[in-house]
Amino acid sequence: MIRNVFGIHTDINGMNIELLRRSALIKVLFEPRDAQVVKGWMWAAPSNAYWLYRSNIDLDNSDPRLMGELQLRYLAIGEADYNAAYVLGQWYAEWNASWVKPNGMEYFFIESGPNEMNDSSQRAVGYLLGFVERCIELGILPAAGMHSFGLPAVTKFNGFNGWRPFAPVFRAIDRANAGQSKPEAAWQYHEYAMAGDMMASRDHAIGRYLLNEEYSGPRMIGELGYADYNKPPTTEIMMSQIQAAMAYYGADDRLMGTAWYDIRNHTDHQYNYCYADMCVALDTADRSNPSAPKSFPTLPITVRSGGIIEVPPPDPDPAVVPAGTVAVKTKSPSGQNIRAHPSLIAPIAASLEAGEIAYTSANEAPTIGQDKSWVYIKAPGGEGWAAAWLLEAA
């Protein structure tokens, strides 16, 4: 059986009902005042489709006078100001909860923004962590991610891992999803084919998200299309590429869906001349499933939380290290604090005493001992963020 991962990127004016019927992921841009209109579209969408929200106050523009409030607030924070950014992330989560919950739209995942800020500083980490953690506290669904196509850097093509700073955010998403049968938090990417060729772009473009070595949880492709609007020469070729791309993405059991950019009344990237062709292409790909003649099935994804470490037993044997983890201990003879967030002024969540053995994910091992770095650990007395420069391998 084929998983359907086709979806649409749309707005309050551009919704196409026939494509909606065939979508696993529906990303919608709208103002809270239009919430009930958007909620009404649920009657036409697959019952287990995922919904993703892009806010009207998250508007990016080169002219500050046309920027959204979220963008302006974010840019007013210094790149090294983790704590101010964390508070802003909380504010944006609270702003969304203020309209999502009264309208009964908790089924929507909320895109974190700021849209395509392409930032990998402490400001970015603090903002996203504040947003994700506060969304979870408020009972709404976060979809973190602020990077445009091709960013941040990846080891394979750039020589270093630009995803590394976001490990704290990935851990927060993992904690939200641990033990769940459906996603409670996710990360969203933007992917665009190069040179008008979807399948030739798998390694470096439309499949680039797979080069994020830090994250193994639920993911969405929040934008999918052709870079620089460089489409294939004919509609027939484009439809065959859509079919091939959907089969490729459908093999990823952690992918919740893709959002084709752009299915709305927009000034560029218009596909309204071939909406019917898209429907035919999707239905043709579904001929093997007669029970769903209008769309192939949207199946539940596999929820993984690879960053969550099993709690070690009391007084563990240092020689017995749980799979996928590294044993650590503090270098400080007086022990060290474990904090709720990776900051010296964050609340103390627990402590690691001298001589005690704690565990961290094997992915975190390169951080141990590094100056000004933090690592997520689980210790006999609790779990949280520990100053990596005070830790050493046990």
Whether the Cβ atoms of residue 140 and residue 173 lie closer than 8 Å to each other: no
Ranges of the chain whose pLDDT falls below 50: 1, 288-297, 306-320
Q: Which of 342, 340, 338 is nearest to 352 (CA)?
A: 338
Q: What are the residues whose beta carbons fall under 8 Å from the beta carbon of 267, sequence distance 6 or more?
A: none
**Where does the chain hold its CATH 2.30.30.40 domain(s)?**
325-393
Q: What is the pLDDT of residue 285?
A: 65
SS3 assignment for 255-272: EEEEEECCCCCCCCCCCH
CATH code of the domain made up of 7-284: 3.20.20.80
Structure tokens at 5: 């991962």
Spatial separation of the C-alpha atoms in residues 132 and 71, rounded to whole Å: 17
Structure tokens at 116: 């395509």
Q: Which of 197, 176, 262, 251 is nearest to 224 (CA)?
A: 262
Q: What is the pLDDT of residue 318?
A: 41
Q: What is the pLDDT of residue 287?
A: 52
**Where does the chain hold its CATH 3.20.20.80 domain(s)?**
7-284
DSSP letter for each residue of 281-331: HHHHTTTT-TT-TTS---PPPPP--TT--PPPPSS--TT---TTEEEEEES
Phi, psi of 348 (to 5 degrees): -80, 125
Whether the Cβ atoms of residue 328 and residue 367 lie closer than 8 Å to each other: no
DSSP state of 205: I
Q: What is the pTM of this model?
A: 0.79
pLDDT digits (tens, 9 = 90+) for 305-364: 544 333 333 444 444 455 678 899 999 877 898 988 787 777 788 889 888 999 988 877
Q: Candidates 3.40.50.920, 2.30.30.40, 2.40.160.210, 3.40.50.720; correct CATH number of 325-393?
A: 2.30.30.40
Does the bond joining 152 to the residue before it have cis omega, within 30 degrees of 0?
A: yes
Spatial separation of the C-alpha atoms in residues 62 and 137, rounded to whole Å: 34
